[in-house]
Amino acid sequence: MRLACERPDLLGRSLSQWDCTELARQLIAEGIVANISAATVRRILAAHQLKPWRQHVWLYPKQPRDAAFYATVSELIALYTRPLGPDELVLSVDEKTSLQPRPRQHPTQPAQPKNVPTRCEHEYKRAGALNLFAAFDTRSGKVYGQCYERKRQRECIAFLETLEAEIDESIRTIHLVYDNVSTHHGKEVRQWLAKHSRFVLHFTPVHCSWMNQVEQWFSILQRKRLRIVDFESKDHLRAKLDQFIKEWNQHAHPFNWSTKSVAKIMAAAPALAA
């Protein structure tokens, strides 16, 4: 058990993680046992509910989880859950970057009977990339989207101008939930916002992209439209992304961010309990 709970590198092995075979070899090499099989190691690990070959990515918080952090989280939760006025709109906004067409030499083959899966040729050509700017209406689920060649402040402003033109003038306050990337709050963007007062920005805390609801929609887009990337060109990719958004909007639905569902988020908020 001691070996399984230590990094192999610290014991002089060039391994990222232990598996049953390598643990068995190490036990024998250290003289702990004369002989042991990988199957026996597996049974011992199972009895202790230990799987050293599994990996979970985590991030040590560089930003303190202090009162200011929880105040920002509380503000966003309120924005997502409180009743809105008839002249208010809340949009979660972000970009899905580096979307490559990857044209194939031979067309993708659809699934066939007898468990023949969809077949996509391994070889592909590079044909540039697009960046999808998207805004998710947190109350209706409607998505606004636009593709651009690059991701800079000027593209951010161009997308804001698209929102300005598409959203009815009766909506006098448009809340935008952004992350803290400089593209979203640079000098050019701030100058544009100063002339368009109905846009109000709200920023998620650092390393809290999960609080931006458009990320949930991006995961749906990835699973349903971008799992197989075999578009002929950037224009073809752009057209298919536009089509996906139109089809989504025909059956759009919001995500269930209720006061109960976010209670778990704030359960670890000692600053609020004080």
Tell me: do 26 and 126 sit in the same domain. no
In this predicted model, which residue has the larger pLDDT, 32 or 273?
32
What is the band of 258 on the pLDDT scale with cuts at 50, 70, 90? low
Residue 41, pLDDT > 90, answer yes
Q: Of 93, 61, 110, nearest to 212 (Cα)?
A: 93
In this predicted model, which residue has the larger pLDDT, 268 or 130?
130
Tell me: do 194 and 255 sit in the same domain. yes
What is the band of 272 on the pLDDT scale with cuts at 50, 70, 90? very low
Q: What average pLDDT score do residues 159-179 get?
A: 96
Query: Which runs of E-coded beta strand occur in 104-260?
Result: 130-137, 143-148, 173-178, 199-203
The SS3 call for residue 112 is strand
- pLDDT value at position 274? 39
d(CA 155, CA 145): 12
What is the band of 123 on the pLDDT scale with cuts at 50, 70, 90? confident
Tell me: do 42 and 74 sit in the same domain. no
Q: 61 lies in a domain?
A: no
- pLDDT value at position 271? 41
Tell me: do 19 and 93 sit in the same domain. no
Sort 57 into a burial class: Cβ within 10 Å, 0-12 / 13-18 / 19+.
exposed
Q: Number of structural domains, the chain? A: 2
Tell me: do 81 and 12 sit in the same domain. no
205-251, pLDDT tens digit by residue?
Answer: 887 888 899 999 999 999 999 998 999 999 999 999 999 999 999 99
Residue 259, pLDDT > 70, answer no
Tell me: do 207 and 115 sit in the same domain. yes
Domain extent, residue 35, equals: 3-47
In this predicted model, which residue has the larger pLDDT, 66 or 180?
180
Q: What is the CATH number of the domain that holds 141?
A: 3.30.420.10
pTM comes to 0.80
In this predicted model, which residue has the larger pLDDT, 166 or 211?
166
List, in sequence order, every residue forming a beta bridge with 185; answer none if it has no partner.
none
Q: 8 lies in a domain?
A: yes
Residue 61, pLDDT > 90, answer no
Tell me: do 169 and 99 sit in the same domain. yes
Q: 18 lies in a domain?
A: yes
Q: 52 lies in a domain?
A: no
In this predicted model, which residue has the larger pLDDT, 109 or 271?
109
Tell me: do 43 and 78 sit in the same domain. no
Q: Of 210, 185, 213, 211, nearest to 199 (Cα)?
A: 185
Q: 59 lies in a domain?
A: no
Which phi-psi region, left, alpha or beta, contains residue 54 (left: φ > 0; alpha: ψ -120 to 50)?
beta
Tell me: do 221 and 153 sit in the same domain. yes
